[in-house]
């Protein structure tokens, strides 16, 4: 059960975790006092603005994530790249509507046509750079912010995660699931 002070609409559809996350020991949480640093993920998957969208898409799939910070230099966050950003660029640049483009692959009976569409997508993702798709500026949070305040900010901004920045360097990432996890495990 979600504590009464956490809005029920904050994290719709997040499944109950089977095991506590190894980076988030349950015993350390205080329902009111949890900070972002207590719940954030420390190992962050990132891309640089010069990386191809193909590389970025491969990282999203490989790590089963929906977005990641875009960094320059010594881990300075300059933007964020999400699946939606990549789909938007494909739609704008190629006129490919997703999931219609995926449905075309499935229902197309010609293997030649399927291969041509896949090649067109791969070529575009390889040629296009993260710079053209990323959202800037990235909304970030700090390790000392209340986890619930970070959750409220994510809800207000309509995002699922926030990069965690300290002294202008990326130190982690916090998601809605990270924030809700400790409260759901305690109930």
User: What are the tens digits of pLDDT across the range 16-66?
Assistant: 444 444 544 443 445 457 899 999 999 999 999 999 999 999 999 999 999
Q: What is the pLDDT of residue 119?
A: 86
**In which region does residue 145 sit, left (phi positive, over 0), alpha (psi from -120 to 50) or beta (all else)?**
beta
Kindly state whether residue 128 falls inside one of the protein's structural domains. Answer: yes
- Residue 68's domain is classified under what CATH number? 3.10.580.10
Q: What is the pLDDT of residue 182?
A: 58
Kindly state whether residue 180 falls inside one of the protein's structural domains. Answer: yes
Task: Assess whether pLDDT exceeds 90 at residue 117.
Answer: no
Kindly state whether residue 62 falls inside one of the protein's structural domains. Answer: yes
Kindly state whether residue 3 falls inside one of the protein's structural domains. Answer: no
Give the mean pLDDT of the chain. 81
CA atoms within 13 A on the CB side of 65: 25
Kindly state whether residue 146 falls inside one of the protein's structural domains. Answer: yes
pTM summary value: 0.74
Kindly state whether residue 21 falls inside one of the protein's structural domains. Answer: no
In whole angstroms, what is the distance from residue 170 CA to residue 177 CA?
Answer: 19
Give me the number of domains the chain comprises. Answer: 1
- Residue 133 belongs to what domain range? 32-186
Kindly state whether residue 9 falls inside one of the protein's structural domains. Answer: no
**In which region does residue 161 sit, left (phi positive, over 0), alpha (psi from -120 to 50) or beta (all else)?**
beta
User: What digits encode the pLDDT tens for the residues 45-59?
Assistant: 999 999 999 999 999
User: What digits encode the pLDDT tens for the residues 77-113?
Assistant: 999 999 999 989 988 888 776 656 667 667 767 788 7
Kindly state whether residue 15 falls inside one of the protein's structural domains. Answer: no
């Amino acid at each position: 059960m979600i504590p009464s002070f956490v809005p029920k609409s904050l994290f719709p559809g997040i499944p109950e975790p089977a095991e506590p996350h190894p980076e988030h020991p349950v015993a350390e949480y205080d329902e009111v006092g949890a900070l972002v640093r207590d719940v954030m993920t420390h190992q962050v998957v990132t891309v640089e603005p010069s990386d191809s969208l193909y590389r970025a898409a491969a990282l999203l799939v490989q790590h089963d994530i929906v977005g990641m910070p875009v960094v320059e230099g010594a881990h300075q966050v300059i933007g964020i790249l999400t699946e939606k950003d990549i789909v938007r660029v494909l739609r704008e640049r190629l006129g490919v509507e997703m999931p219609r483009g995926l449905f075309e692959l499935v229902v197309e009976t010609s293997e030649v046509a399927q291969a041509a569409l896949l090649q067109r997508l791969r070529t575009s993702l390889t040629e296009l750079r993260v710079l053209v798709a990323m959202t800037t500026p990235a909304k970030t949070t700090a390790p000392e912010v209340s986890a619930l305040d970070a959750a409220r900010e994510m809800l207000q901004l309509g995002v699922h995660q926030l990069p965690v920045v300290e002294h202008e360097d990326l130190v982690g990432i916090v998601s809605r699931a990270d924030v809700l996890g400790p409260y759901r495990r305690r109930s």
